[in-house]
Structure 1
Amino acid sequence: MSDSKFDVIVVGGGPGGYVAAIRASQLGLRTALVEKAQLGGVCLNWGCIPTKALLRSADVLRMIRGADRFGIEVGQATPDLGAIVKRSRDVAAQLQRGVGGLMKKHRIQVFNGHARLDGPQQLRVRSDQGELRLGAAHIILATGARARVLPGMEPDGKHFWTYRQALVPQSVPKRLVIIGGGAIGIEFASFYHALGAQVSVVEMAERILPVEDQEISAHVAQSLTRDGIGLYTGCAVQGSKVEQGAVHLRLEGKRHETLQADVVLVAAGIVGNVEELGLEGTGIKVERSHVLVDEFCRTGEPGVYAIGDLAGAPWLAHKASHEALICVEKIAGGNPHPLDPRSVPACTYSHPQVASVGYTEAQARSAGKTLNVGKFPFVTNGKAIAMGATDGFVKVVFDAHSGELLGAHMVGEEVTEMIQGYVIARGLETTEAELIESILPHPTMSEAMHEAVLAAYGRALHN
């Protein structure tokens, strides 16, 4: 027998889990949420939000150091690491409290503890206060993922870090090597370089940001190299050892050499939190640490669902939240559209920023499509020139036959705030005709988005 019975129980209070709980409650379902750590999950407490707070501090530092370009003389800008980290933690704490408030507002019962499946429609929750059993017709697993640990580089808080240690440093390492040139690695490279660290990035793929369009990756690499960040692509770490207070990393691949670092930050992917969930003996299948689901997030076990990072790529908070809505709407008898992974935007908050949605040019050509590709640089955009933000460009990829917007890719200042225009365009299935006829305000950096569309059809006006 269950101590409490619900219509829906969500396991995990991250951006997938708490959104699922809110929507279930809105639809009139008696809902509970189980979280063993902090509401908001990794994203709010140890990922998306606190990293953006750190990166904002780095942006302000860069702006002050370059104030003379705008005719403003200021004294020497010196970062206060303790204050920067405190602000980041305060931002996370404020939002974490906000999620708690949302749970109360929507009358969602929250249980603090570790939950595992305990038979059909049953959960056993273990906490410091003991154990209890909960029952529900529908159980949504949203336990997220954690940083991948590489052998010989297990996090010790001193020489080897994951993102958790990188978010709360006691000091800025003089020499920092980052293993992994994806979004997380490049964001931390931008932050620590701004604070004065000598930063190197090691990436196994042939280029950093390997999932992005090749031209975007190349532009970011050029920008980071110009700033003094070392990039070691096509390289793998074959060995590491600590001697005399320094880490020695042996690289093999395109370059055979040894790097020395005071700290190594491992940002080489994630692993799904599938352990101790009671999956054994169920119809739930796990592949490469992620739970397999269908288009409506249903697992192979009746009444059990999985969303977010636990359910696989793309590993993004907004993907998890959208899957939550799809899953709950289906549970409530609705008819939601399945998730289209290519319509999920991706953002990297590095310096410069990167944003994209849909096919890269290479992916579209590999799919056999005939393309019209347009590019427009910010260096010829009036607002960008006025803002001193001319680094970067906008690139769009269209199907030459149908006019479908297959993909959009941007690099430059605040492009993460601009990509939503192309996301909406893809969602509405607009073609180049509607986009060309659209009127964008002047002067804005978003005008480059319109010019890129025009360029794809030989009609660019300002380049």
Structure 2
Amino acid sequence: MAEKYDLIVLGSGPGGYVAAIRGAQLGLKVAIVERELLGGICLNWGCIPTKALLRSAEILHYAQHAKDYGLKIAGEIEADLEAVVKRSRGVAAQLNKGVTGLMKKNKIAVHMGEGKLTGPTSLTVKGEKGEEKLEAKHIIVATGARARDLPFAKADGKRIWTYRHAMTPKEMPKKLLVIGSGAIGIEFASFYNDMGCEVTVVEMLDRIVPVEDKDVSAFLQKSLTKQGIKVMTGAGVEELKADAKGVRAKIKDAKGNVDESEFSHCIVAIGIVPNTEDIGLEKLAEMEKGFIQIDPYGRTKSKGLWAIGDCTPGPWLAHKASHEGVTAAEAIAQELGNKDVHPHPLDRNNIPGCTYCHPQIASVGMTEAQAKEAGYDVKAGTFPFIGNGKAIALGEAEGFTKTVFDAKTGELLGAHMVGAEVTEMIQGFVIGKTLETTEAELMQSVFPHPTISESMHESVLASYGRVIHI
């Protein structure tokens, strides 16, 4: 006989486990189904362990530049790759235990194994307990996504890597090819460059981090080049062959010239594929390129079946998945009779993006070009970190903050930042956009001194010809 719940969540990543917790908080009987590790890719193989790696690289960078801060470090500074990876895996393990504890705290039943839908509100789980049959009034699919392979050269974990292989390398690459310059590709390029590897980045579009504002892309490319990374835009890898010694790549550059180069390893970071095959979705949900189509609350075309996170349309970000999880859980509770919960649909224009390379990138809303294409009369302003006292004191004067406004209404349309700690500061603009702020409120806000966040204030002033410190 099938076990019955109010809500079953298929997948325990940052969307799934958050949805389960919110459902439990609202009084629902909740179960979660996970085939591998609680916390999903983000906690175990993505967001968090990569940041641990990048933190080690950052410390190494500062140690190697101690002279710039008036310090002397005796002896040679070098990276212990095994220890760096061990620290990263330890961070992931700690968080995995944390999610396990949260499941117990919220009385959420955990079923470990492969889940497959048998209907919009039923599924089977094949795992440690054999085959289980589960039923619920509602099911949320939160199965996430995986790295996309090159069609002519699939990752082998030895010479051709995905992000998972790049996080647990058995040896330090000597010469690394990174294909793709989105967040994942650029973060690993930055990490391995700081660790002493020779890095080449190949991007098929005309600029790196192409979803960002053009000014950010140009600044980052200049900075990465200065750090020793070779950046090739408008270029493509036409052939990739791996053997025991390394990787040979035929790369066509922006001028159409094809050159064959040798590398010790290659990271493929050309996007993701949703994990939506073979889980029973064929007749239950509308699909587009493998992604489950949903309404603003997470509903699919089948009553009782919902979807969130990376298996749904982008942006494919952990915090977007978590927010969707809360929204879906609240909408489900409302449908089940809870009159005290009032879910709000997700506004994709207010989702921030962060890339943790060196220097960091953060943004929210429209780029200047997007705003103009949308028909806005735009006011935009930029403030460089070289005019910010805290940035200079930190020795991090590279970077800027840029804001984009509707000239007619003063609405904040977008904000774009590159430099030290901008991933921590972007939330100020996110809150501003969520509150539908205008330039007037931002100008009248008092920013603490000395902080890098003062550049946020100055960029708003610059948009209206009132900048102070440049």
Q: Calculate the TM-score normalised by the size of structure 1.
A: 0.98
Q: Which amino acid aligns with 2:230?
A: G
Match of residue 311 from structure 1: 312
Which of the residues 394, 411, 432 maps onto 2:401? 394
Shift of 1:109: 0.4
Q: Secondary structure at the match of 2:319?
A: helix
Determine if contact 2:159/2:243 at 8 Å carries over to the other structure.
no
Alpha-carbon RMSD across the aligned residues, in angstroms, is: 1.0
Is 1:97 equivalent to 2:104 in the alignment?
A: no
Question: 1:65 aligns to what?
Answer: 64
Pair 1:54-2:43 in alignment? no
The CA deviation at 1:280 is 2.4
2: CA distance, partners of 1:302 / 1:110: 24
Counterpart in the other structure of 2:446 = 439
**Matched letter for residue 399 of structure 1:** D
Q: Which residue of 1 aligns with 2:153?
A: 153
Residue aligning to 2:143: 143
Residue 270 (1) aligns with residue 272 (2):
yes
Counterpart amino acid of residue 273 in structure 1: N
Q: How does 1:17-56 map to 2 (within 5 A)?
A: 17-56=16-55
Contact 2:160-2:242 at 8 Å conserved across structures:
no
- Report how far residue 240 of structure 1 moved: 1.7
Equivalent position SS for 2:210:
coil
Q: 1:77 to 1:336 in 2, by over 3 A?
A: same
* Cα drift, residue 244 of structure 1: 7.1
Aligned AA (2:279)? L
Q: Secondary structure at the match of 1:245?
A: coil
2:30 aligned partner, one-letter code: T
Superposed displacement of residue 241, structure 1: 2.0
SS across alignment from 1:91: helix
How many Å separate the matches in 2 of 1:120 and 1:157? 36
Distance 1:50 1:244, change over 3 A: closer
Secondary structure at 1:20's aligned position in 2? helix
Which amino acid in structure 2 is aligned with residue 316 of structure 1? L
What one-letter code is carried by the residue in structure 2 that aligns with 1:32? Answer: A
Counterpart secondary structure, 1:313: coil
Taking structure 1 as reference, are residues 244 and 149 closer, same or farther at Cα in structure 2, changes over 3 Å only? closer
Unpaired runs of at least 5, structure 2: 335-340
In 1, distance between residues paired with 2:237 and 2:7? 45
Aligned position for 1:406: 413
1:297 aligns with 2:298: yes
Distance 2:242 2:37 in 1: 34
1:347 equivalenced with 2:354 (yes/no): yes
State the AA in 1 paired with 2:174: K
Cα distance between partner residues in 1 of 2:144 and 2:420? 30
One-letter amino acid of the counterpart of residue 308, structure 1: G
Partner of 1:135, secondary structure, is strand
Give the 3-state SS of the residue equivalent to 1:113 in structure 2. strand
- Paired residue type of 1:16: G
2:120/2:305 contact within 8 Å kept:
no
Residue 265 of structure 1 and its aligned partner are, at CA, apart by 0.6
TM-score, normalising length: structure 2: 0.97
| Paired positions, count | 461
Q: Deviations over 1:254-279 (max 9, x none)?
A: 14222221111101100000012111
Query: Which secondary structure state, in structure 2, belongs to the residue aligned with residue 275 of structure 1?
Result: coil
What does 1:54-453 correspond to in 2, within 5 Å? 54-75=53-74, 76-242=76-242, 245-255=245-255, 256=257, 257-282=259-284, 284-333=285-334, 334-453=341-460
> Contact conserved, 2:13 with 2:41, CA < 8 A, in 1?
yes
Distance 1:244 1:165, change over 3 A: closer
Distance 1:204 1:173 in 2: 23
Alpha-carbon distance change, 323 to 120 in structure 1, aligned in 2, over 3 angstroms: closer
CA distance in structure 2 between the partners assigned to 1:380 and 1:160 by the alignment: 43
Whole-Å separation in 1 of the counterparts to 2:261 and 2:27: 58
Distance in 2 separating the partners of 1:87 and 1:286: 39
CA distance in 1, matches of 2:8, 2:93: 25
Distance 2:371 2:283 in 1: 42
Deviation at residue 158 of structure 1 after TM alignment: 1.3
User: What is the CA–CA distance in structure 2 between the aligned matches of 1:119 and 1:380, rounded to whole Å?
Assistant: 60
Note the C-alpha offset of 1:70. 1.1
Deviation readout 1:156-199 (Å, 9 max, x if unpaired): 12110000110001111111001111110000000000111110
Distance, in Å, in 2 between the alignment partners of 1:62 and 1:143 is 37
* In 2, Cα distance between equivalents of 1:49 and 1:244: 31
Deviation at 1:218, TM superposition (A): 0.5
**Equivalents in 2 of 1:243, 1:371: separation in Å?**
53
Partner amino acid for 2:60? L
Distance 2:271 2:21 in 1: 29
Structure 2 CA distance for partners of 1:451 and 1:301, relative to 1, 3 Å: same
Q: Against the structure 1 CA distance between its residues 120 and 219, is the aligned structure 2 distance closer, same or farther, given a 3 Å change threshold?
A: closer
Instruction: Say which SS state the counterpart of residue 320 (structure 1) adopts.
Output: helix
Structure 1 match to 2:337: none
User: Aligned partner of 1:40: which letter?
Assistant: G
Instruction: Give the Cα separation in 1 of the matches to 2:253 and 2:95.
Output: 43
Matched residue type, 2:52: A
151-160 or 104-113: which moved more?
Answer: 151-160
